[in-house]
Amino acid sequence: MHGQRRAAGLAFWGLLLVAFDLDVGGFDLLSDPVGAFLCVAALGHLRAASPHGDDANVSAARRWWVVAVVVTGLSELAVLSGVAAPDAPIQVVDTMLGDVRPAAAVSLLELVLLPAQLALIAAFAAVVRSPRMVQSWATSRRLLLLVGVPVAVASAAGDLYLLATGRWFSITLGSGAASLALLGALAALAAAAHVLVSLHRTRTAPEHEPLPV
């Protein structure tokens, strides 16, 4: 149980670093590669705490997050070298870069974070034994599938458009498309927040929670 708690704590802070950006002079103080590495470390602790030994779900999740470390590291290098821009309004990024294709390519690579998060959910769901924890992780998975996948598909479509045309497509503020985009962003934020809630619940679960008869 202690191993699960430590794993959940590391994953909590890791996902928090990955999910939020704090850019100062083009450098992200909340480093995504560090966050991804914390998730790798968390899954190492989870594998050691698994009642099934080297659980396949945990090992698969750990491989996804190793890939995420590499991808987010390349993304940070691209920002520092000026190949891609830090998170900013579309017009600002367009002005900073001129050619937006490299930024679109980096954004496509970062879509690996979605399957990595789904794999992390599967890993914790396979190891926890409390019915409350199992239900919480099942809800996190449903929310991420329901919201995260459509948002990722829309993001990939936008990035592919940029790669093909080399220019941004515009969305008029106040239009139905803009409202839909805002709604999608808020829903994705809610889905990501629930993953953090499940990690917090796992981290603070009672030492000996009774199992169903």
For residue 39, is pLDDT > 90?
Answer: yes
Please determine, for residue 9, whether its predicted confidence score (pLDDT) is greater than 90. Answer: yes
pLDDT band at 204 (very low <50, low <70, confident <90, very high): confident
Mean pLDDT of 44-71: 85
Percent of the chain with pLDDT over 70: 70
Q: Domain segments of the chain: what residues?
A: 2-203
**What pLDDT score was predicted for residue 120?**
95
Q: How far apart are CA 182 and CA 175, in angstroms?
A: 11
Instruction: Quote the pLDDT of residue 195.
Output: 93
Per-residue pLDDT at 97 exceeds 80: no
Contact 205, 1 (CB under 8 A): yes
**pLDDT at position 137:** 94
- Mean pLDDT (whole number) for 95-100: 49
